[in-house]
């Protein structure tokens, strides 16, 4: 199978599991990911103070249904984890349809679909079903059962680290808290998993830290528990909605001009894409970019959250995401990080006048190359702008020369002693 097909197979395997912000569904999800990557799994006890939040009680569920007077289950958690409002408290009761309606959630404008709903921080319960199913329910009494537990337990998250040449880090974050939603959750997990495997095979410059965390509370917990590491985070990317057929969308960091912002926009140039300015709403980039941390973390999706009809519904299933779209997302991530790994500042060691390139063999090395003129021009641009202030990506953008050609020029000039890395580059 291709890498795209392998990622899609992972999505299909994870899809049936009931995930939430805590619980065994998260552990089972991470257990499957651990078959692909070595993970360090963290368990943070209920009641732990994490920044302005507190780790909640752990939620688990084994069974839930609504049955009619004949005992037929008209809504059944066993058919889909979306059928129960996440974090529903236990219920065992018989009630009329009128009473039950107060706890039923539908999408009247999408009558055949089941919505996704949560009640993380307020004790409540409920069922999600299609409007078509609700409309077909006759008046009468219904048996309602939710066999769930809310107990002191743990919040679970995991990390995978790909060691680089330097200890400065790039964090790649995806959320693992949504139940059966293939694009808004699982495609991001799959792309992150396969990206980590690829990076490990290429000896990257930066150290890459992959975070598999529950949304919001998970990233907040990681930030609270890693204060000593925050200063090492050079760049970051949040991955979500990574498998739908739409074009790619990049959302800038709070800084707006962070290294990840520049690299992502450079890679996406020339293809259909959208760039969004930062806003404090969305996925976990809003936690990493909160003003106290202000990390250079952007977000990469295909169609953004709430931007497609299948969002947070039963239509966000494995048939909605494609191997081709996930492979494309992976390829763009690969290229963004390739740029980050090479985008450094240099200093021209012979800045007074143009150094003689011929006697250093640099012109001779270009003989016969079809791109000799561009390669020569790239050297001149690199020499001119290597003042310790401009990065190689700055030079590529200003000169209009491809980033790869600029990198090759910098390597050639460094090899003959005309360039040196800038201090702190």
Among candidate residues 159, 263, 163, 169, the one with its CA nearest the CA of residue 203: 163
Lookup: tokens for 218: 């998970």
331 contacts 366 by C-beta, under 8 angstroms: no
Among candidate residues 239, 341, 256, the one with its CA nearest the CA of residue 294: 256
Burial per residue of 178-197, b for 16 or more beta-carbon CB atoms within 10 angstroms, e otherwise: bbbbbbbbbbbbbbbbbbbe
Q: Is there a binding annotation on residue 312?
A: yes
Q: Is there a binding annotation on residue 154?
A: no
Exposed, middle or buried: residue 161 (CB in 10 Å: 0-12, 13-18, 19+)? middle
169 contacts 229 by C-beta, under 8 angstroms: yes
Among candidate residues 85, 90, 72, the one with its CA nearest the CA of residue 114: 85
Looking only at the bridges linking them, the beta strands covering 127-128 and 345-348 are: unpaired
Q: Is there a binding annotation on residue 294?
A: no
Q: How far apart are CA 134 and CA 422, in angstroms?
A: 66
Q: How far apart are CA 256 and CA 260, in angstroms?
A: 9
Lookup: tokens for 300: 């990469």
User: In the Cβ-directed half-sphere of 159, how many Cα atoms lie within 13 Å?
Assistant: 19
Q: How far apart are CA 272 and CA 264, in angstroms?
A: 13
Known binding-site positions: 178, 184, 312
Known binding-site positions for Zn(2+): 178, 184, 312
């Amino acid at each position: 199978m291709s890498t795209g097909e392998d990622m899609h197979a992972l999505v299909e395997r994870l899809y049936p599991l009931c995930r939430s912000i805590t619980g065994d569904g998260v552990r089972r999800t991470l257990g499957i990911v651990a078959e692909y990557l070595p993970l360090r799994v963290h368990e943070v006890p209920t009641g732990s103070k994490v920044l302005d939040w507190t780790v909640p009680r752990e939620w688990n569920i084994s069974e839930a249904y609504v049955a009619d007077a004949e005992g037929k289950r008209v809504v059944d958690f066993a058919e889909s984890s979306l059928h129960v409002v996440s974090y529903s408290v236990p219920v065992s009761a018989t009630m009329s349809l009128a009473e039950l309606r107060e706890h039923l959630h539908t999408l009247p404008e999408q009558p055949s679909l089941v919505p996704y709903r949560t009640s993380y921080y307020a004790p409540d319960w409920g069922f999600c079903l299609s409007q078509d199913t609700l409309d077909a329910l006759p008046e009468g009494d219904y048996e309602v059962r939710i066999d769930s537990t809310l107990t002191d337990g743990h919040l679970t998250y995991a990390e995978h680290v790909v060691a680089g040449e330097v200890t400065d880090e790039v964090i790649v974050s995806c959320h693992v808290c949504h139940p059966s939603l293939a694009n808004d959750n699982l495609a991001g997990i799959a792309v992150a998993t396969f990206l980590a495997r690829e990076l490990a095979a290429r000896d990257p410059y930066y150290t890459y830290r992959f975070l598999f965390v529950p949304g919001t509370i998970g990233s907040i917990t990681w930030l609270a528990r890693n204060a000593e590491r925050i200063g090492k985070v050079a760049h970051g990317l949040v991955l979500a909605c990574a498998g739908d057929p739409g074009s790619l969308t990049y959302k800038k960091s709070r800084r707006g001009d962070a290294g990840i912002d520049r690299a992502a926009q450079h890679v996406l140039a020339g293809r259909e894409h959208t760039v969004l300015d930062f806003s404090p709403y969305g996925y976990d980039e809003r936690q990493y970019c909160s003003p106290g941390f202000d990390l250079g973390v952007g977000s990469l999706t295909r169609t953004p959250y709430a931007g497609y009809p299948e969002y947070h519904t039963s239509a966000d299933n494995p048939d909605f995401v494609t191997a081709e779209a996930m492979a494309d997302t992976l390829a763009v991530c690969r290229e963004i990080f390739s740029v980050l790994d090479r985008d450094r500042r240099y200093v021209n060691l012979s800045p007074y006048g143009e150094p003689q390139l011929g006697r250093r063999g640099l012109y001779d090395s270009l003989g016969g190359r079809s791109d000799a003129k561009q390669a020569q021009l790239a050297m001149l641009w690199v020499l001119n702008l290597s003042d310790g202030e401009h990065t190689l990506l700055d030079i590529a953008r200003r000169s209009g020369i491809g980033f790869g050609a600029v990198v090759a020029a910098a390597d050639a000039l460094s090899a003959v002693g005309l360039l040196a890395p800038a201090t702190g580059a």
